[in-house]
């Protein structure tokens, strides 16, 4: 494959990874000062910080591969809805603590497996970012798995809320593991993993945790697609308005 074509695929992949981290990080950061207990408030803020840090690496690489002089900040703050490549799962509203936590768990399990596989990516810069990020994400997955079990198998109230969250969010998980033509080309040249393999490992971990949490996976749910192609949900425009307002209103503003 010619270098330009490979770079283009790697750029698209970096955008997808970066946008997932950015949008989830932005959403989780909104919990700062609002979590049900202090320890969780700190954990959420730390998770958001890790994700925003990882965003800097992914979008930095995407900008470098694009080669048009844009920066990671330009990509984060100056793109419009249709140019974002994150999955629909991460843009789902924070909802209650259960919704936020279930979203985190379903994402962390995927994120951890993808990063682990990326350690052997044929694109060195991608493998390097993964090497850094996977350590942080291991802690994310450990925490979210643990809390899903404790709240799912907790009180009647916490169980009901976790089940509702699972029912609402399950339909957005399929997309993360359904390859499009970009994913297939990336897997072929060894830049990114085969999503079919990720799906198997993901299902194994997620099912084990949900079972221990006494939660029921919705059967035969329709899987919503679109995020990778830039087709986002209604809430996404509001999210961007919030996140991008300052740079749009005061271009180039810095601390």
Partner 1 sequence: MHAVSEQLTIDEIWSLLESVPDPEIPVISVVDLGIVRDVSRKGDEVTVTVTPTYSGCPATAVIAMEIEEALRRKGADRVRIEMQLSPAWTTQWITKQGREKLRAYGIAPPVEGAPCAGALKAPPVVACPRCASDNTERVSQFGSTPCKAHYRCKDCLEPFDYFKSF
Q: Which residues of this chain interact with partner 1, rule CB under 8 A?
A: 39-40, 42-43, 46-47, 49-54, 56-57, 112, 127-129, 131-136, 138-139, 141-143, 145-146
> In the complex, what is the shortest distance from the CB of residue 103 to partner 1, in angstroms, rounded to a whole number?
18
Q: How far apart are CA 244 and CA 73, in angstroms?
A: 10
> In the complex, what is the shortest distance from the CB of residue 221 to partner 1, in angstroms, rounded to a whole number?
26
Nearer to partner 1, 38 or 253 (CB): 38
Are the C-beta atoms of residues 77 and 244 closer than 8 Å to each other?
yes
Task: Kindly state the tokens that stand for 97.
Answer: 């603590």
Nearer to partner 1, 60 or 98 (CB): 60
Task: Kindly state the tokens that stand for 53.
Answer: 């840090």
Say how many C-beta atoms besides its own lie within 10 A of residue 85's C-beta. 23
Nearer to partner 1, 9 or 51 (CB): 51
> In the complex, what is the shortest distance from the CB of residue 231 to partner 1, in angstroms, rounded to a whole number?
29
Residue whose tokens read 């300052």: 246
Helix, strand or coil for residue 219?
coil
> In the complex, what is the shortest distance from the CB of residue 145 to partner 1, in angstroms, rounded to a whole number?
6
Helical packing angle, 195-212 and 97-118, nearest 10°: 140
Nearer to partner 1, 57 or 170 (CB): 57
Q: Rounded to 5 degrees, what angle do the CA atoms 75, 10, 63 make?
A: 25
Nearer to partner 1, 47 or 92 (CB): 47
Nearer to partner 1, 208 or 229 (CB): 208
Q: How far apart are CA 47 and CA 25, in angstroms?
A: 7
The contacts of residue 77 (CB under 8 Å, 6+ apart) are 243, 244, 246, 247, 248
> In the complex, what is the shortest distance from the CB of residue 10 to partner 1, in angstroms, rounded to a whole number?
16
The contacts of residue 237 (CB under 8 Å, 6+ apart) are 81
> In the complex, what is the shortest distance from the CB of residue 254 to partner 1, in angstroms, rounded to a whole number?
13
Task: Kindly state the tokens that stand for 70.
Answer: 């844009």
């Amino acid at each position: 494959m010619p270098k330009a074509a490979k770079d283009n695929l790697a750029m698209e992949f970096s955008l997808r990874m970066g946008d997932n981290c950015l949008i989830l990080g932005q959403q989780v950061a909104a919990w700062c000062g609002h979590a049900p207990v202090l320890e969780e408030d700190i954990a959420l803020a730390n998770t958001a910080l890790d994700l925003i840090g990882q965003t800097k690496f992914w979008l930095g690489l995407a900008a470098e591969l694009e080669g048009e002089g844009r920066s990671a900040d330009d990509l984060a703050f100056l793109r419009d809805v249709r140019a974002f490549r994150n999955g629909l799962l991460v843009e789902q509203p924070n909802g209650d603590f259960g919704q936020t936590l279930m979203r985190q768990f379903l994402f962390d399990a995927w994120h951890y497996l993808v990063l682990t596989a990326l350690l052997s990516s044929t694109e060195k810069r991608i493998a390097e970012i993964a090497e850094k990020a996977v350590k942080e994400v291991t802690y994310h997955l450990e925490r979210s798995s643990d809390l899903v079990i404790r709240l799912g198998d907790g009180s009647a109230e916490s169980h009901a809320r976790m089940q509702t969250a699972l029912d609402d969010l399950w339909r957005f998980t399929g997309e993360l593991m359904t390859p499009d033509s970009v994913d297939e080309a990336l897997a072929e040249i060894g830049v990114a993993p085969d999503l079919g393999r990720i799906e198997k490992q993901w299902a194994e971990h997620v099912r084990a945790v949900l079972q221990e949490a006494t939660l029921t996976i919705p059967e035969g749910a329709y899987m919503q697609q679109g995020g990778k192609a830039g087709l986002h949900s209604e809430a996404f425009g509001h999210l961007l308005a919030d996140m991008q307002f300052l740079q749009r209103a005061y271009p180039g503003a810095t601390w």
